[in-house]
Structure formats: structure tokens, C-alpha cells
Amino acid sequence: MSKLNLPTKITVTRIFAIPLIVVLYVLQCEVHNLICIATALLYIITSATDFVDGHIARKYNLVTDLGKFLDPIADKVVVLTGVFIIADGGMITVPYVAMICGVIIVARELIIGLLRQIAAIKNFVLAADGLGKAKTATTMTAIGTLLFVPCGGTFGAVVMWLGMAELIVATVLTVWSGVHYVVANKALFAENKPPSQDKADEVSSDDNESSADKEEK
């Protein structure tokens, strides 16, 4: 990692923190409360680095192609890992809420990922989406809150309802930002004829005009 600048190192560290979060979650049955708190705090710290690396990169002009490639990947891994943990751990007791929110969040990430692949193939520059950052921040906040639920007691019940409310808001933002992103980049779906076809159409048009002129004569 010696050749990586500071923001990219932070991004890579965020990715490497995910397996540790999963291990801590799995170990909760052994040392319950302490591991529960450690899991939640590590997830919150990991999520916070998403904003730290971006701020440093922009402030000190350290934006790189590798960083732009890794940052969205790290964001998706952090969010999706948290969603799967919440669903697996049954941290929301209201039926189907975690499942519905999780499916919507995962579907949005897949659709936007496909959109970016199409844009890369067409060399199309996608319009920036400020709602995406708000969606990511809200989702990470909700997951970080819900990871305290296994601590149990009154505290666990309170954070469950708080986290569920945050997750619902995050899901609404997920749909809103996804639709906004697609609409803002609707030009990506325009059918562009290859240059050879355009020339063929021009030749055909010229031939038709010539034929019409001869008929008039």
C-alpha cells in the first residue's frame, strides 16, 4: 500500500474492515454484549471513513482513478454487508420490514451498477447525484443503530424502533435517488446510429432528392 495515497489507503482499509465486522457479528453468541458494542462501533467507524477519504482527496487534490474506482465499491460492500447482517440477525421484529428494505436497497445497487457499466461501454459521462450520498449516509446510520439491538433490554428495544425508522427513510431515499439518477442520465439510453449508418442515410436522402429533381424536369 506504499504507492497508494492517504485517501485510497483509507478506502482500502474500509474494505478490509468488512470481514472483521462479519467475524465479530458471528462471535456475538460467545461474548454477547461486549461483541455487540464492538461490532456496532466498528461498523460506524468504518462507515465514517467513507466521508473522511473523500474530504481529504478533494481538499488536497489527491483524487485518483484508483480511488474513484475503489470508493463506490467500498461503499456498496459496507452497505450490503450491513443489510445482510440486519436481515440475518432478525434485528427488526416487525415482520417483513428488513426483508423489503433490504431487497429494495440491493436492487437499487444492482441497477445503478449496471447503468454505470453501460455508461463505461458507451464512454458516457454520468451526471453527479447528490442524493446518492444522502442515501448512503442515512443507510449506514440506520445499520449502525440497528447493530446495537442485540445488546437487549430497554436500550435494544429503543434502538430497534429508531433504527427501523431510519432504515425506512433510507429506503425511500434509495428509491428516490435511484429514479433521479436514471432520469438525470436518460440520454444514456438514446439510440445512437453508428457513423456508417448516418452516412448511408445521408446518401439515400441525396439519391431521393436527385430522383425527385429528375422527375420534375
Per-residue pLDDT tens digits for 44-63 = 999 999 889 988 988 899 98
- CATH class for the region spanning 6-216: mainly alpha
Q: Where are the domains of the chain?
A: 6-216
Categorize the per-residue pLDDT at 190 as very low, low, confident or very high, splitting at 50, 70 and 90: confident
Asked if pLDDT for residue 165 goes beyond 70, the answer is yes
Residue 141's identity, in one-letter code, is: T
Residue 185's alpha-carbon distances to 56, 109, 122, 128, 188, in angstroms, are 28, 16, 13, 9, 6
Grid cell locating 69: 474506482
Q: What is the mean pLDDT of the chain?
A: 84
Within the chain, how many helices (H) and strands (E) appear?
7, 0
**For the chain, what percentages of helix, strand and coil (3-state, to nearest 5) are there?**
85, 0, 15
Per-residue pLDDT tens digits for 100-151 = 999 999 999 899 888 888 888 888 877 667 788 899 999 999 999 999 998 8
Burial 27-36 (b: 16+ CB within 10 A, else e): ebeeeeeebb
* Grid-cell match 447482517, residue found: 85
Per-residue pLDDT tens digits for 195-211 = 544 444 554 555 555 54
CA atoms lying within 13 Å on the CB side of residue 52: 15
Please, what sign has the CA dihedral across residues 130, 74, 188, 119? Answer: positive
